[in-house]
Amino acid sequence: MSDTLLYQYGAFLRRKSRFLWLVAFMILLLALAGLALGPSDMGLQEGIRALLSGEDATHRSIMLQLRLPRVLAAILAGVALSVSGVVMQSVLRNPLGSPFTLGISNAAAFGAAFAVIILGAGNMQSNSSDAVLIANPYLVTLSAFLWSLLACFLILLVARKRGATPENMILTGIIASSLFTALTTGLQYVADDVELAAIVFWTFGDLSKSGWRELLLQTVILVPVMVYFYRNRWNYNALDSGDETARSLGVNSYRLRLTGMVMASLATAAVVSFYGIIAFVGLVIPHMVRRLIGSDERFLLPGAAMTGAAFMTGCDILARTVISPMVLPVGILTSLVGAPLFIFLLVKGIGASQWK
């Protein structure tokens, strides 16, 4: 009898693993599509040949400087935002947690704009999407992180004093968002025309700002953060049972919650400080994956990371092709796709899934 139960549970886990493999395959397909598409008519085969042989310098340059960093940026941003959303929801025990709804994205965006305009960490060039050249990415990320921490502590303070109820969290998020949007608007007010256009473009959420230096810095930040989250996957499951139960199961819930929020803010800042605000990914993807494979963090964390990566890569492909040769900022696409998707999840739901 015991063997039957163990077999059933094993089959239950294997179904979830199958979902992870399927999404991994989707990422591969989307990444290849992302490498194949662009304003230049270079196909995937030519691009890969140019990359490997180095014969065609133009094609090689398009691949190395434009398409590859962009695809990698989409994957990293998708992973960081989705996983941050999962962790924020878990540590606050609140389904409305996400970097965007809690105002952390806006705080990070303000921090980045603050570093660029006030601290002189960036140069303004023109009113196009690549208007801001980040001269000092470390300062921008640090500033974005520190301001996002401020929003994070505000959330934790309210959660500690009044409880992390959906109402409290969403109200605090609205207030934090409004506050940091007002501060960013304040910066826009004192900026000159070119700077103003640059800040507006900057806040759109655009992957065209991605380059190897940014990717390297993001990787250096995100890898330890993701390892930390994955290492605590089982503890996050315990945290969902409530503080007292988690503690009685041997989990230091206070430290886990605090570190989780700080790490999630850092991951958000690592994305927002380079690409601007990319809304809805951190909210929609965790919910979608929860509905598909359940809330066991052992599968939810990698599942959300990979689905987020696939979603962002897909949205970026759309952003590049929908009104080609013009490229839309991907932040517009994630909201346009994410908002109806979230409403669909709320109203209809996906219900019992074969992977659950």
Partner 1 sequence: MISLEKIHFAYNGFPVIREVTCRFSRGSFTAILGPNGSGKTTLIRLMNGILFPQQGRIRIGGKDISGFHTRALARQMAYVPQMQQNVFPATVFDTVLLGRNPYIRWSPGKNDRIVTSGIIEQLHLEDIALKDINRLSGGQRQRVFIARALAQEPEIILLDEPTANLDLRHQHEVLGLLKELSRSGITIVMAIHDLNLALKYCSGFMILDQGRQVATGGKEIFSESLLEKVYRVKVKLIKEENETYILPVEPL
Contacts of residue 345, Cβ cutoff 8 Å, sequence gap at least 6: 284, 287, 288, 291
The CB density around residue 117, as the number of other CB atoms within 10 Å, is 21
Say how many C-beta atoms besides its own lie within 10 A of residue 243's C-beta: 14
Tell me how far, at minimum, the Cβ of 343 lies from partner 1, in Å: 20
CA geometry: angle at 175 spanning 100 and 86, to 5°? 30
Q: How far is the CB of 298 from partner 1 (least distance, A)?
A: 6
- The CB-of-98 to partner 1 minimum distance in angstroms stands at 14
Q: Render 301-334 in DSSP notation, one character per residue.
A: HHHHHHHHHHHHHHHHHHHHHTTTTS---HHHHH
Structure tokens of 247? Answer: 């503690």
249 part of the interface to partner 1, by CB under 8 A: yes
Work out how close the CB of 188 gets to partner 1 at its nearest, in angstroms, rounded to a whole number.
38
DSSP 161-202: HH---HHHHHHHHHHHHHHHHHHHHHHHHHS-HHHHHHHHHH
| Single residue of 44, 64, 95, 153 touching partner 1 by CB under 8 A | 95
C-beta closer to partner 1: residue 210 or 235: 235
* Other beta carbons within 10 Å of 84: 35
Q: Does 163 bind partner 1 (CB under 8 A)?
A: no
Q: Using alpha carbons, select from 100, 129, 131, 127 the residue that is nearest to residue 116.
A: 131
Decide if 276 contacts 205 (C-beta within 8 A): yes
Binds partner 1 by CB under 8 A, chosen from 54, 163, 242, 340? 242
Q: Is 161 in the site for partner 1 (CB under 8 A)?
A: no
Listed residue (210, 203, 343) closest to 287, CA to CA: 343
Q: Which is nearer to partner 1, 60 or 291 (CB)?
A: 291
Single out the residue of 226, 251, 271, 292 in contact with partner 1 (rule: CB under 8 A): 251
Q: Does residue 250 touch partner 1 according to CB under 8 A?
A: yes
For residues 280 to 299, the per-residue mask of contacts with partner 1, x marking binding by CB under 8 A and - elsewhere, is ----------x---xxx-x-
Q: Which stretch binds partner 1 (CB under 8 A): 8-16, 27-35, 59-67, 187-195?
A: 8-16
Residue 94 within binding range of partner 1, rule CB under 8 A:
yes
* Contact residues for partner 1, defined by CB under 8 A: 1-2, 5-6, 8-9, 12, 89-90, 93-95, 231, 233-235, 237-238, 240-242, 244-245, 247-252, 290, 294-296, 298
